A and B are shown apart, each in its own frame.
Chain A
Amino acid sequence: MTTPTDPAAPAVPPALDLTPAPGAAPFGRMVLAQAGAEVRATLRNGEQLLLTLVIPVLLLVGFSVAPLIDVGGGSRVEFLTPGVLALAVMSTAFTGQAIATGFERRYGVLKRLGATPLSRAGLLLGKTLAVLAVEVLQVVVIVAVALSLGWRPQGSFAAAVLLVLLGTAAFSGLGLLMAGTLRAEATLAAANLVYLVLLGAGGVMFPLSKFPDSVRPVLELLPISALTGGLRAVLTGGAALPLGALAVLAAWAAVSLGLASRTFRWE
């Protein structure tokens, strides 16, 4: 036997009881463990943070303070905050999730997790919880910044939450559809491109009323327009329940999640 006082003593490998004792952890514990790992990975990833927090906050502060855009009358922060909240939801549920999941697939992480007791349903639930947790963080930061800029929200809190949840479902479906079918590099490029296009054309920064009448009906059917428009109707306009926006988001969620569940390749 070696003694702890002997510095030259070879390390004694600790005893491991390898006797089989198989068993899955309770479902909830597995899902929370996975969600926690996903949140940590997001918060540690510089590019992700740029996308989910820095860019939305910069847009909110920059365009609220400087009269660079024509919001069509009224207070700039009143106009911008709902749009930036919608952008934050899109950046996390769609762009961030698509890129992260695409690379997890490419690196065999999804495959490896498939060999653990965490079921695919559990994995997706974990991802969803992680997205919601990051969104809570984003909303807290954005709302705090907006309030300090003089934002005075009105309307139904429940309606806003419902919009965010449906928007998250729609954007998650689109993100997973992309991540599960395209190569990881293609997902990276496409997710960023879609983010930029929707940022420009979805009423986040520029009111849809500034677009020509011919394209506006199409733009209004985009998920980002529905989320932005719905949040703006509730938080700025004091609407009770923007049914049109909710219907558009529900349709996107149903179609994208349905397609994703059929086409998703885990490897």
Chain B
Amino acid sequence: MDSPAVEIIDLVKRYGGTTAVDGLSLRAERGAVTAVLGPNGAGKTSTVEICEGFRRADGGTVRVLGQAPDDPTLRPRVGVMLQSGGVPPATRCAEWLRLVSRFYARPLDSTALLVRLGLDEHGRTPYRRLSGGQQQRLSLAAAVIGRPELVFLDEPTAGLDPQARHACWDLVAELRGAGVSVVLTTHHMDEAERLADQVVIIDRGKVVAQGSPASLTGAERQLRFRARPGLALEELLNALPAGSAAKESPAGHYIIEGLVAPELLATVTAWCASEGVTADDLRIERRTLEDVFLELTGRELR
């Protein structure tokens, strides 16, 4: 039986007096895409950099492909994309990729990879003259060129334009199709929802929820709106069909769950009118990971 791609138990990481990772546990399965979702400062990068062997944990255990993260035998098996930098500014795009490819036994063709990521016209461009999105794509290319079993991508689409973002998503999907395990961090919930088999939502160094996107968001549709905090929901509940639920979470954000039908919408808006409030952002939809995060932490993801 293969060990999981990544297994983290009770990880702790401190920087001076601040605790960046505070008893975090997660498991990333082989051949799956695992998204670590959370706001800036949640501990995503610390967690990933411990898995990559760059930092030492202050507590807990971490296993990457069954090994200790700093085991040198992991280096050819694991591809890494740093959040930023990592390339000498004067080095030309194609030259860097070719150099990285020479460290591996059976690398991908660097030219084909550049074409694939839309960088072939910039092969002779020094790294510092590439746009932010092009730099990101070069880092992504370097992460996969050695044909790794597992890839860590730290905010792979930060700063990408929509087209480049889709190119990155396509490549991640293709990696998954080829049996590569992918662990990525993001604060874009749409990215996590779209790419991930498993989403781990972290906040303040702790896991607040994990599961498949569908299990986290639920299949049910909901009616949501914003209004002034502290509305008395009992009266509304009485007017709604049996089995409906209404809650305010966090303050000023209202969620009505139940059979979302035209009648329900009419009842809610009539109730709002009787309360003298205007429902802002009234919408009917499935919960998004953004909503899940907001409900769990009381804060916006970004």
Q: Which residues of A contact B (CB under 8 A)?
A: 11, 13-14, 16-25, 29-30, 33-34, 37, 40-41, 44-45, 103-104, 107-109, 111-112, 114-119, 267
Structural contact, B75 and A24, CB atoms closer than 8 A: yes
* Residue in A18, A40, A118, A267 with the greatest tally of chain B CB atoms within 10 Å: A18
Structural contact, A24 and B103, CB atoms closer than 8 A: yes
Partner of B105 from the list A24, A45, A118 (CB cut-off 8 Å) is A24
Structural contact, B87 and A107, CB atoms closer than 8 A: yes
Interface window among B141-149, B279-287, B289-297: B141-149
* Residue in A14, A30, A103 with the greatest tally of chain B CB atoms within 10 Å: A14
Structural contact, A29 and B144, CB atoms closer than 8 A: no
Excluding A18-B174, A115-B52, 9 further A-B contacts by CB distance (< 8 Å) are A16-B112, A18-B144, A21-B106, A22-B106, A104-B88, A115-B54, A115-B75, A115-B80, A116-B146
Structural contact, B100 and A116, CB atoms closer than 8 A: yes
Within 8 A of A (CB), among B106-164: 106, 108-109, 112-113, 115-116, 142, 144, 146-149
Given contacts A18-B144, A23-B104, A116-B100, contact A109 B86 (CB under 8 A): yes
**Least distance between A67 CB and chain B CB atoms (Å):** 41
Residue B35 interfacial (CB < 8 Å):
no
Structural contact, A22 and B76, CB atoms closer than 8 A: yes
Residue of B nearest to A107 (CB): B85
Structural contact, B178 and A30, CB atoms closer than 8 A: no
Please indicate the chain B residues that have their CB under 8 angstroms from the CB of A37 in the complex: 91, 95, 99
Structural contact, B112 and A14, CB atoms closer than 8 A: yes
Partner of A16 from the list B52, B78, B88, B108 (CB cut-off 8 Å) is B108
Within 8 A of A (CB), among B166-187: 174-175, 177-180
Structural contact, B77 and A111, CB atoms closer than 8 A: no
Residue B89 interfacial (CB < 8 Å):
yes
Chain B residues with a Cβ closer than 8 Å to the other chain, count = 44
Residue B228 interfacial (CB < 8 Å):
no
**Least distance between B98 CB and chain A CB atoms (Å):** 8
Structural contact, A17 and B102, CB atoms closer than 8 A: no
**Least distance between B4 CB and chain A CB atoms (Å):** 15
Structural contact, A13 and B76, CB atoms closer than 8 A: no
Residue B268 interfacial (CB < 8 Å):
no
**Least distance between A38 CB and chain B CB atoms (Å):** 10
Q: How long is the Cα–Cα vector from A41 to B106 in the complex, in angstroms?
A: 26
**Least distance between A9 CB and chain B CB atoms (Å):** 14
Structural contact, A267 and B54, CB atoms closer than 8 A: yes
Structural contact, A19 and B147, CB atoms closer than 8 A: yes
Residue B270 interfacial (CB < 8 Å):
no
Structural contact, B108 and A18, CB atoms closer than 8 A: yes
Structural contact, A112 and B115, CB atoms closer than 8 A: no
Could you tell me the dominant secondary structure of chain B's interface residues? loop
> Can you list 23 A-B contacts (CB < 8 A)?
A13-B116, A16-B108, A16-B174, A18-B147, A18-B177, A18-B178, A22-B105, A22-B146, A23-B146, A37-B99, A40-B95, A41-B90, A109-B87, A111-B54, A114-B54, A115-B78, A116-B103, A116-B104, A117-B75, A117-B76, A117-B103, A117-B104, A118-B103
Structural contact, B87 and A23, CB atoms closer than 8 A: no
**Least distance between B150 CB and chain A CB atoms (Å):** 8
Please indicate the chain B residues that have their CB under 8 angstroms from the CB of A29 in the complex: 102
Q: How long is the Cα–Cα vector from A49 to B130 in the complex, in angstroms?
A: 25
Please indicate the chain B residues that have their CB under 8 angstroms from the CB of A267 in the complex: 54
Q: How long is the Cα–Cα vector from A44 to B91 in the complex, in angstroms?
A: 10
The 3 closest A-B pairs by CB, nearest first: A23-B105, A112-B86, A33-B102
Please indicate the chain A residues that have their CB under 8 angstroms from the CB of B19 in the complex: none
Residue B276 interfacial (CB < 8 Å):
no
Q: How long is the Cα–Cα vector from A109 to B127 in the complex, in angstroms?
A: 12
Q: How long is the Cα–Cα vector from A115 to B105 in the complex, in angstroms?
A: 15
Please indicate the chain A residues that have their CB under 8 angstroms from the CB of B100 in the complex: 116
Q: How long is the Cα–Cα vector from A117 to B105 in the complex, in angstroms?
A: 10
Structural contact, A22 and B147, CB atoms closer than 8 A: yes
Please indicate the chain A residues that have their CB under 8 angstroms from the CB of B180 in the complex: 18, 20
**Least distance between B231 CB and chain A CB atoms (Å):** 50
Structural contact, B108 and A17, CB atoms closer than 8 A: yes
Q: How long is the Cα–Cα vector from A29 to B103 in the complex, in angstroms?
A: 8
What sequence of 0s and 1s flags, for each residue 206-240 of chain B, a beta carbon within 8 Å of any chain A beta carbon? 00000000000000000000000000000000000
Partner of A108 from the list B72, B85, B99, B149 (CB cut-off 8 Å) is B85
Residue B40 interfacial (CB < 8 Å):
no
Residue B3 interfacial (CB < 8 Å):
no
Residue B82 interfacial (CB < 8 Å):
yes
Q: How long is the Cα–Cα vector from A114 to B75 in the complex, in angstroms?
A: 8
Residue of B nearest to A122 (CB): B103
* Residue in B80, B105, B149 with the greatest tally of chain A CB atoms within 10 Å: B105
Residue B244 interfacial (CB < 8 Å):
no
Structural contact, A108 and B86, CB atoms closer than 8 A: yes
Given contacts A14-B115, A112-B82, contact A45 B90 (CB under 8 A): yes
Structural contact, B104 and A24, CB atoms closer than 8 A: yes
Residue B84 interfacial (CB < 8 Å):
yes
Please indicate the chain A residues that have their CB under 8 angstroms from the CB of B147 in the complex: 17-22
* Residue in A19, A45, A117 with the greatest tally of chain B CB atoms within 10 Å: A117
**Least distance between A44 CB and chain B CB atoms (Å):** 7
Please indicate the chain B residues that have their CB under 8 angstroms from the CB of A25 in the complex: 102-105
**Least distance between A130 CB and chain B CB atoms (Å):** 13
